[in-house]
Amino acid sequence: MASIRDLKKDINFVLGDIIEAVYQWEAATNNKNSEEGSALVDKAIDTFDYLMDKVNTKAEDKKAHFKSVRTELETKATELVEKLNALGS
């Protein structure tokens, strides 16, 4: 079983990469501080806060709890990437 530390790192890296991609999109398209980009960054930060709170919540079945957090990370990250890709279209 992966450690809690690894799960926290994954949450940080995945959402951090999405935020970085937004900034790269803004720089490449000369849309600095765009409303769309800011909204995606805010959503990524809110998702980070939500998932970290969920990781730190006590659960009876830790394995199932952390698996659900990881699944939720994948789902939310996919949604954010799809929104980012839509900006590039």
Interatomic CA distance for residues 48 and 13, integer angstroms: 10
**56: which DSSP letter?**
T
In this prediction the pTM is 0.89
Per-residue model confidence as pLDDT tens digits over 41-64: 999 999 999 999 999 999 899 999
Compute CA 15 distance to the chain's CA centroid, rounded to the nearest angstrom: 3
Pick from 82, 88, 89, 4: which is nearest to 43 by CA? Answer: 82
Interatomic CA distance for residues 9 and 74, integer angstroms: 14
Per-residue model confidence as pLDDT tens digits over 5-48: 999 999 999 999 999 999 999 999 888 878 989 999 999 999 99
- Sequence ranges of the domains in the chain: 4-88
